[in-house]
Structure 1
């Protein structure tokens, strides 16, 4: 998966968890949880949605990398689906 595809999947996954969020203003290094006001369950749903949509296995130790757009894109573009 290239970086553009990864960014699109991340934004689509966030939109499923936080309908109505303005993702166009989300910067690459802004933490999702604070910026989009995600609680722990929202973040878990985001991670699960991301895994389902990409087919990439996401383990608990991977979640710290998935807190920003750039972190997610880097993780997904380097992962083997």
Structure 2
């Protein structure tokens, strides 16, 4: 199972593919909407790509709760049972 750092790397790669953002800007503490200026359509694309990559389902009502890159990484780590101390 992937570790949190591997998950962050994959999330960063997906965000870059969908938005064209510099991967160096995509860090765990960054907010998708406020810091990275990612709109709702791009968030849907990111979510779908993450679901495909990790083989998980992120419920639509859960997506707004995943405000930062770190929130998403934590959600994936918890769901996959990885990244725990």
Give the whole-Å Cα distance in 2 for the aligned partners of 1:25 and 1:80: 25
Alignment partner, residue 30 of structure 2: 30
Aligned length: 80
Is the 8 Å Cα contact of residues 31 and 67 (structure 2) preserved in structure 1? Answer: yes
| TM-score of the pair, normalised by structure 1 | 0.82
Alignment partner, residue 4 of structure 2: 3
Give the whole-Å Cα distance in 2 for the aligned partners of 1:12 and 1:27: 11
1:61 aligns with 2:49: no
Give the whole-Å Cα distance in 2 for the aligned partners of 1:27 and 1:5: 13
Q: Deviations over 1:1-49 (max 9, x none)?
A: 2101110111011011112x12313342221122222211111111111
**Quick check: which one's helix share is greater?**
1
Give the whole-Å Cα distance in 2 for the aligned partners of 1:11 and 1:49: 12
Where does the alignment leave 5 or more consecutive residues of structure 1 unmatched?
A: none
Is the 8 Å Cα contact of residues 33 and 43 (structure 1) preserved in structure 2? Answer: no
RMSD between aligned alpha carbons? 1.8
Is the 8 Å Cα contact of residues 65 and 75 (structure 1) preserved in structure 2? Answer: no
